[in-house]
Amino acid sequence: MSWIWSNLDLIRDRTLDHLFLSVPPIVLSVLIALPLGWLANRYRASRGLILTASGLLYAVPSLPLLIVLPIIVGVETRSPLNLIIALTLYGVALMVRVVADGLASVDPDVRQSATAVGFSGWSGFRQVELPLSGPVLLAGIRVVAVSTVSLATVGAVIGVKSLGSLFTDGFQRGIQAEIIAGIVTTVLLALVLDGLLVAVGRLAMPWTRLSRRGGAAARPRTVAPASLGGEAAK
């Protein structure tokens, strides 16, 4: 514990570095996955290809990807941009299927109704399909956020400063408290981001709370008549 109290500034700096490496990939992966997931849902012929390609992308080990990416995109191996690109690719791999499944969960009758009242393809997607699939998309974004915070620690192996640096430095110097500090801070950061996403989801999608309350309130009223009908039949 004495090491932790003596190095709070270091832990704070590595936490900020980790946050800088984690937030951009989360945002970028969602922005990139939305059109890809829409294509996979809209055009069934492309669904298998897009989802398979994204799944294979997530199967690529992180360290080889961090070594190959600089050759492809022309950045330095130790550059934070290298890690951000890699984390974005992993986030896209997770989010594409979530977007496709979320859009597919929208009732076809709702889509037809939206078209009937004059919504075009883009406006229907933006004002009807996207809001209705919001809870599914939020669940996927939360998974991406936690996964990204975890994977960002790998950057320490190639020299990118993050909370992972506490792991590697603590291991090399035999300081167990430093390793524990890195693990605990990484978990706490993931929990904070997850909590923020939940809060944003509640603010951005208030109708989900109303629908849950309405469903809970309506449930007893729907069960009671059925039970009465059953008793009358006897």
Give the DSSP letter string of 125-179.
IIIIIHHHTHHHHHHHHHHHHHHHHHHGGGGGGGT--STHHHHHHHHHHT-HHHH
Whose structure tokens read 């998974």? 143
The answer on pLDDT for 133 being more than 80 is yes
**What is the rounded average pLDDT for all residues in the chain?**
85
What is the rounded distance in angstroms from the CA atom of residue 54 to the CA atom of residue 74?
Answer: 23
Q: Which two tokens stand for residue 72?
A: 């492809």
Provide the domain limits for residue 205: 2-233
Domain count, the chain: 1
What was the pLDDT predicted at 194? 96
> What's the predicted TM-score (pTM) here?
0.84
The answer on pLDDT for 192 being more than 80 is yes
Q: What is the CATH number of the domain that holds 72?
A: 1.10.3720.10
pLDDT in tens, 140-188: 999 999 999 999 999 999 999 999 999 999 999 999 999 999 999 999 9
Q: Do residues 7 and 151 touch, judged by C-beta distance below 8 A?
A: no
What is the rounded distance in angstroms from the CA atom of residue 16 to the CA atom of residue 48?
Answer: 39
